[in-house]
A and B are shown apart, each in its own frame.
Chain A
Amino acid sequence: MQDLEKLKANLKALNAEYAKIKDVPVEKRAEFGREINEKKTAILEQIKAAEEAALESEVEPLDITAPVAPNQKMPEFISSENGSAHPLMTELDRVIEIYQMMGFDVVEPRQLDDEFHMFDSLNFSKGHPARDGYDTFRTEEGFIPPAHTSTMQHRVLKAYKKNLGEGKDIAVVVPGRVFRNEDVDATHEHTFYQCEGVYVSKDCTMGNMLGILREFFEKYYEQKLDISTQPGYFPFTEPSLEFKIEKPKALGGKKGEFIEMLGCGMIHPNVLKMAGIDPTVYHGFAWGGGIDRLVMLRYGLKDVRYFESGKLNFLKEF
């Protein structure tokens, strides 16, 4: 408390000093005034902190073990009609559920990774311009908040390699949060969600990949769907494709109208090799696509920015 009084005294002294401004030569008044103001701001901040500290020192302890504060009503939950689950998470759970039904294990990605997993392990040669295409963030240490869930491919292949030895296939999906350094607008977010799929066996084919993807989207949209593809380019798959589905009727789609859902392809032999899997014996396919757009389409949402806005007006609709 003495501190506080001392600070207040200092402030008073400072105010008194300010009154001397009329004795200062005109050309030096601005500088004089600025100096005093700086000191004043500093003291005011200290006073505020001291006042807060004083208030905090007066805070009464609570019985942290009790169910309620003395003389208060027993606490209640917020009324249940106010509650909401995040639509992205609800849909991600649904996506996971469908893949699990289809026999896929689920692995969660990490939100901070490194150059090796983001690029090297995925057959991006050093300094290749394709690395720039991902607009990655970087930390001071050179770590990377992953720009795609493919960052987990190498880990998944290594962790599940034992399946192959046991005569089983590798079938894993990786749903999670990814990051890109891009400007945010109604259809672009720097933070968004993707789901990766990885499948490896002795005899799987591109036809199997198309079969799995079609099956997934038919289950997700609860209708039969036509699919179509487009050649693509990713260093970690060869051949690479863009995968499209016919826009579902429930979303107002017309016959022949296709929407791009994800990128996919047969895993590049170098990617398998790097994870210690012999590409002359095994091959596989992988895919990755955005979840946000899936959810936006399903709910008819127009602006991706709402997802991370934390606005209850938006969230309570779900």
Chain B
Amino acid sequence: MRISLNWLKKFVNINLDNAELEKIIDSRLVEIEEVIDESKKYDNIFVAKVVECEAIPETHLHLCKIDAGSHELAGEDGLVQVVCGAPNVHAGMLAAWIAPGAIVPQSVHEDAPFVIGKRKMLGQYDSFGMLAGADELDFGDDHSGIVEIDPEMAKPGDKLADVFELNDTILDIENKSLTHRPDCFGIIGFAREVAGILGQKFNEPRFEEYAATSSKQVSIESAEICPRYSAIVLKKHGEIRKKYLTLEDTLLSKSGMRPVDPIVDATNYLMLLTDQPLHAFDYDKFLAVGGTSEPKIGVRLAKKGEKLTLLDDTEIELIDTDIVITSNNVPVALAGAMGGKSTMIDENTKNIILESATFSLYNLRKTQMAHGIFSEAITRFTKGQPAYQTLNVAKACAGLLSDGFEISESIDTQAAESKNNVVKITTDEINNLLGTNYSKNQIIDTLENVSFEVEDGDELTITAPAWRTDIHIKEDIIEEIGRLNGYDNIEPILPKHATSEPNKMIVLKSRIRDFLSHTGANELLTYTFVHGDLIEKVGQDVNNSYRLVNSISPDLQYLRQQIVPSLLVKSYENLKAKHQEFALFEMNQVFLRSDGVDEDGVPIANSNLAMVVASMDEETKYYVAKKYLEALAEKLGLKLSFKKFEATKHEAYFEPKRSAGVYIGENLVGCIGEIKFSVLNKLKLPRGVAAFEISLDELVKLASFKKVNHEISDFPTVSRDITITTAKAYEEIAKAIEEKLSQKELIFEITPTSIYQPEGKIEKNISFHLSFADKNKTLESGEILELMNELEKIA
């Protein structure tokens, strides 16, 4: 929405400079998206009288001499010569003259604004500047001729900007921040708020109270879809005044609308003024469509499949939540959104039905979305226009057209008088919520300035004006007091309250992040949504993923079941970007449909940690992944074991012969392994890529700060290397050594140093570095020798 400050100032006395005004509007009423400075837009454009006007033979041009006051370009006769191509140029008229050196207003916001100069036309006629049409002056799209100015408004030499108050500043308002304030979508309502902010009593411009003259009925399907429908029938009694450029035209333009036709312009002007949208039907066409001799107006829901051709010539298929205006049950307009072609106003229109109504914002919102109509009218209706002023505004509009039309009858469905909302509240309740110390008088003044009625007492009894249908509860009044007096005047004070508890999961994730990022791994965040193809490529069941019905693209259609597949995709991209080797990890939530819902009825969420280790060298990365996982576990005070396990479908991308279940005690907490060859192929990854995915929900239950091996001996530590030849799994051997050393009650550390498997042999040589010490004494060499002999028997 665009607000002209010049127009605003007609309703409220503003003694701030524009920058201060903008700031205070921004902080107490609404977000200003842009401030458009139009103070120079009409510089060097003058009102000029066409004194002489001669047709140039064999062209459409006229050679004109104009009186632009005492302009420096005037010749001895006091006149300036301009060649004009407009068909309506004639001697005696007042026109708008863009003097040489001025910018054509239409082009002001273009990259290369068009500067008017002196030209020689047809090789012989000097032409200074130009006589401008409405389009060139940026007052609409009319290019049929030049604008004519009412001699009662101006004289030759006047600056156009002075006559039409064009030195202006336009505020472009963010509509979203007024979602709940339909009353602010008219300049009067906006001005009322500005008055309130400035601490002034707003002087309400009163529209004539008007009552319907006819008892004719409008058939309305339900008051829910159309709370009030008013209409005035106007009969033509004369010509609408010759079309001079009017102040209203310029206001429409400044507000972002285009003047098109005197009748339509009048309806639009009233809407910008009062926020009540109006619509004009051609009366005679309305009768013709319905085949009736009297208008039979109806408002109903559209029937599915009904069609309607709109003003802009598009034919739409209606949906059953659309509201239509009907003539004898034939749809003639899409209510609140756009009029129909069949009853459209044109230059032959004799009689008019002027509609002023309110409609269900819920239905209109659906209409807006279904048909993509974002007209000024529907923008206002979808905020929930109040019903109090429909007929009065229609009457005011009729008044604007009174030189061409007179009222023949008026119709109104207004049922019972709508009750204004009343709220009771105390001064303390207001101050206690805001943290302020406003006096009762200040509170009363604040509200009365914007036309609330306040009855003083122990409690204030506050009656909201008819247009404030959004006022229901105490908090609504508190908002008015806080906002109009400025939230920025509230002193920020910290409350005193208790200490907090740490969140175990967040602490855990922080520790993991810290450890892994310091040991060379990279933390990633990847999308929760993945492509169905990826799910299938890694062998998961796509039906086990929650599917979005309105995804942005197929790439983002399914909620992922695990994190590893996303990291595999990122591994490919990073290998392609010439990173030779890396370990990527992510901690995030995943969902499996098969997990079902929790007690709130929402899907069970699983928090996981995943890592992928990839390298161009095609060697197995299983042991690197395992080293990361084991080292991490040790940091978290956890001892892991790795066992064969049956992978579930969503882990089916692990190569069964090269993957393991990860256990803490008896608890399976995740899995680790190489990725299957077929999956790697599909994802264009080299062989050997390994990964793990671990449940953080399990880890958080078990993690601690305890050290797995903590004991330290005060006696000398012995170091020995040992190699054991065996066909058994590594773990069995390591465990056997461990047991032996434990039996002797030694404090020890077992570090594997290599596994060597001679070619063609089943046995491996597993080498360890051992360090051990006794808790109570220095070990003697005999004891050490005996121990080593025992250990060497393990095989």
Note all chain B residues with C-beta closer than 8 A to A17. none
Q: A137-B551, A171-B497 are in contact. Are A69 and B29 (CB under 8 A)?
A: no
Note all chain A residues with C-beta closer than 8 A to B488. 227-229
Note all chain B residues with C-beta closer than 8 A to A229. 27, 487-488
Does B483 belong to the interface (CB within 8 Å)?
A: yes
Does A252 belong to the interface (CB within 8 Å)?
A: no
Q: Nearest-CB distance from B85 to chain A (Å)?
A: 45
Does A3 belong to the interface (CB within 8 Å)?
A: no
Q: Nearest-CB distance from B488 to chain A (Å)?
A: 5
A–B complex contacts, Cβ < 8 Å, 12 sampled:
A65-B660, A69-B623, A74-B753, A78-B521, A78-B582, A80-B520, A83-B518, A105-B501, A106-B503, A184-B552, A212-B495, A231-B30
Q: Which of B494, B525, B549, B644 contacts A64 (CB 8 A)?
A: B644
- Binary CB contact string for chain B from 90 to 130 against chain A (1 if under 8 A, 0 otherwise): 00000000000000000000000000000000000000000
Does A14 belong to the interface (CB within 8 Å)?
A: no
Interface residues contributed by chain A, number (CB under 8 Å):
113
Note all chain A residues with C-beta closer than 8 A to B28. 231
Q: Enumerate chain A interface residues (CB-CB to B < 8 A).
A: 49, 52-53, 55-56, 59-72, 74-86, 88-90, 93, 96, 99-100, 103-108, 110-114, 117, 127-130, 132-133, 137-141, 143, 145, 155, 168-169, 171, 177, 179, 181, 183-184, 190-191, 199, 201, 203-208, 210-215, 227-233, 238-242, 266, 268-269, 283, 307-308, 310-313, 315-316
What separation, in Å, do the CA atoms of A254 and B228 have in the docked complex? Answer: 52
What separation, in Å, do the CA atoms of A108 and B657 have in the docked complex? Answer: 37
Q: Nearest-CB distance from A13 to chain B (Å)?
A: 26
- Considering the complex, give the chain A residue whose CB is closest to the CB of B528: A111
**Beyond A52-B681, A231-B487, 6 extra complex contacts between A and B, CB < 8 Å:** A60-B657, A62-B620, A77-B631, A86-B525, A145-B529, A315-B524
Note all chain B residues with C-beta closer than 8 A to A204. 495
Does B584 belong to the interface (CB within 8 Å)?
A: yes
Q: Nearest-CB distance from A82 to chain B (Å)?
A: 5
Does B730 belong to the interface (CB within 8 Å)?
A: yes
Q: A62-B620, A190-B556, A310-B584 are in contact. Are A206 and B435 (CB under 8 A)?
A: yes
Q: Which of B177, B525, B655 contacts A56 (CB 8 A)?
A: B655
Does B506 belong to the interface (CB within 8 Å)?
A: yes
- Considering the complex, give the chain A residue whose CB is closest to the CB of B678: A52
Among B290-298, B442-450, B471-479, which stretch is in contact with chain A?
B471-479
Does B337 belong to the interface (CB within 8 Å)?
A: no
Give the interface SS of chain B, mostly helix, strand, loop or mixed.
mixed
Note all chain A residues with C-beta closer than 8 A to B503. 96, 105-108
Q: Which of A113, A238, A315 contacts B522 (CB 8 A)?
A: A315
Does B176 belong to the interface (CB within 8 Å)?
A: yes
Note all chain B residues with C-beta closer than 8 A to A311. 573-574, 577
Note all chain A residues with C-beta closer than 8 A to B551. 137, 181
Q: A74-B753, A93-B510 are in contact. Are A242 and B492 (CB under 8 A)?
A: no
Q: Nearest-CB distance from B481 to chain A (Å)?
A: 9
Find out whether the CB atom of A201 lies under 8 angstroms from the CB atom of B495.
yes
What separation, in Å, do the CA atoms of A21 and B521 have in the docked complex? Answer: 58
Q: Nearest-CB distance from B567 to chain A (Å)?
A: 8
Find out whether the CB atom of B516 lies under 8 angstroms from the CB atom of A308.
no
> Which residues of chain B from 611 to 643 have a CB within 8 Å of any chain A CB?
619-620, 622-624, 626-628, 631, 641-643
Note all chain A residues with C-beta closer than 8 A to B573. 310-311
What separation, in Å, do the CA atoms of A282 and B252 have in the docked complex? Answer: 49
Q: Which of A60, A64, A74 contacts B642 (CB 8 A)?
A: A64
What separation, in Å, do the CA atoms of A241 and B482 have in the docked complex? Answer: 10
Does B26 belong to the interface (CB within 8 Å)?
A: yes
Note all chain A residues with C-beta closer than 8 A to B483. 231, 239
Q: Which of A75, A80, A90, A139 contacts B546 (CB 8 A)?
A: A139
Q: Nearest-CB distance from B475 to chain A (Å)?
A: 4
Q: Nearest-CB distance from B50 to chain A (Å)?
A: 50
Q: Nearest-CB distance from B782 to chain A (Å)?
A: 32
What separation, in Å, do the CA atoms of A96 and B734 have in the docked complex? Answer: 43
> Which residues of chain B from 175 to 227 have a CB within 8 Å of any chain A CB?
176-181
> Which residues of chain B from 738 to 766 have a CB within 8 Å of any chain A CB?
752-757, 764
- Considering the complex, give the chain A residue whose CB is closest to the CB of B498: A168
Note all chain B residues with C-beta closer than 8 A to A208. 435, 492-495
Does B31 belong to the interface (CB within 8 Å)?
A: yes
Find out whether the CB atom of B482 lies under 8 angstroms from the CB atom of A129.
no
Q: A64-B644, A96-B506, A177-B528 are in contact. Are A228 and B523 (CB under 8 A)?
A: no
Q: Which of A84, A100, A129, A266 contacts B517 (CB 8 A)?
A: A84
Does B49 belong to the interface (CB within 8 Å)?
A: no
Find out whether the CB atom of B502 lies under 8 angstroms from the CB atom of A312.
no
Q: Nearest-CB distance from B30 to chain A (Å)?
A: 7
> Which residues of chain B from 591 to 625 have a CB within 8 Å of any chain A CB?
591, 600-603, 605, 619-620, 622-624
Q: A105-B503, A228-B27 are in contact. Are A315 and B523 (CB under 8 A)?
A: yes
Q: How large is the interface on B (under 10, 10 to 19, 20 to 34, 35 or more residues)?
A: 35 or more
Note all chain A residues with C-beta closer than 8 A to B30. 230-231
Q: Nearest-CB distance from B659 to chain A (Å)?
A: 7
Note all chain B residues with C-beta closer than 8 A to A70. 755-757, 764
Note all chain B residues with C-beta closer than 8 A to A80. 518-520
Note all chain B residues with C-beta closer than 8 A to A233. 176-181
Q: Nearest-CB distance from A209 to chain B (Å)?
A: 8
> Which residues of chain B from 512 to 568 have a CB within 8 Å of any chain A CB?
513-514, 516-529, 546-552, 556, 559, 566-567
Find out whether the CB atom of B479 lies under 8 angstroms from the CB atom of A238.
yes
Q: A78-B582, A138-B549 are in contact. Are A205 and B730 (CB under 8 A)?
A: no
Find out whether the CB atom of A145 lies under 8 angstroms from the CB atom of B522.
no
Q: A208-B494, A268-B475 are in contact. Are A61 and B658 (CB under 8 A)?
A: yes
What separation, in Å, do the CA atoms of A283 and B435 have in the docked complex? Answer: 12
- Considering the complex, give the chain A residue whose CB is closest to the CB of B681: A52
- Considering the complex, give the chain B residue whose CB is closest to the CB of A168: B498
What separation, in Å, do the CA atoms of A83 and B490 have in the docked complex? Answer: 46
Note all chain B residues with C-beta closer than 8 A to A67. 623, 626-627, 730, 752, 755
Q: Nearest-CB distance from A273 to chain B (Å)?
A: 11
Find out whether the CB atom of B492 lies under 8 angstroms from the CB atom of A210.
yes
Find out whether the CB atom of B624 lies under 8 angstroms from the CB atom of A238.
no
Note all chain A residues with C-beta closer than 8 A to B493. 205, 207-208, 211
Find out whether the CB atom of B498 lies under 8 angstroms from the CB atom of A133.
no
Find out whether the CB atom of B475 lies under 8 angstroms from the CB atom of A82.
no
What separation, in Å, do the CA atoms of A84 and B602 have in the docked complex? Answer: 34
What separation, in Å, do the CA atoms of A210 and B678 have in the docked complex? Answer: 57
What separation, in Å, do the CA atoms of A228 and B601 have in the docked complex? Answer: 40
Find out whether the CB atom of B27 lies under 8 angstroms from the CB atom of A112.
no
Find out whether the CB atom of B754 lies under 8 angstroms from the CB atom of A74.
yes
Find out whether the CB atom of B623 lies under 8 angstroms from the CB atom of A88.
no
Note all chain B residues with C-beta closer than 8 A to A139. 546-549, 559
Find out whether the CB atom of B521 lies under 8 angstroms from the CB atom of A239.
no
What separation, in Å, do the CA atoms of A238 and B522 have in the docked complex? Answer: 43
Find out whether the CB atom of A66 lies under 8 angstroms from the CB atom of B526.
no
What separation, in Å, do the CA atoms of A117 and B479 have in the docked complex? Answer: 25
Note all chain A residues with C-beta closer than 8 A to B517. 83-85
Q: Which of A55, A90, A107, A169 contacts B495 (CB 8 A)?
A: A169
What separation, in Å, do the CA atoms of A247 and B476 have in the docked complex? Answer: 31
Note all chain A residues with C-beta closer than 8 A to B176. 133, 233
Does B788 belong to the interface (CB within 8 Å)?
A: no
What separation, in Å, do the CA atoms of A313 and B522 have in the docked complex? Answer: 11
Find out whether the CB atom of B605 lies under 8 angstroms from the CB atom of A112.
yes
Note all chain A residues with C-beta closer than 8 A to B729. 63, 65-66
What separation, in Å, do the CA atoms of A263 and B215 have in the docked complex? Answer: 50
What separation, in Å, do the CA atoms of A203 and B619 have in the docked complex? Answer: 65
Q: A132-B365, A143-B546 are in contact. Are A104 and B518 (CB under 8 A)?
A: no
Note all chain B residues with C-beta closer than 8 A to A213. 492
What separation, in Å, do the CA atoms of A64 and B379 have in the docked complex? Answer: 65
Q: A143-B546, A145-B559 are in contact. Are A183 and B552 (CB under 8 A)?
A: yes
What separation, in Å, do the CA atoms of A61 and B483 have in the docked complex? Answer: 71
Note all chain A residues with C-beta closer than 8 A to B591. 111-112
Find out whether the CB atom of B433 lies under 8 angstroms from the CB atom of A64.
no
Most chain A CB neighbours (cut-off 10 Å) among B179, B502, B660: B179
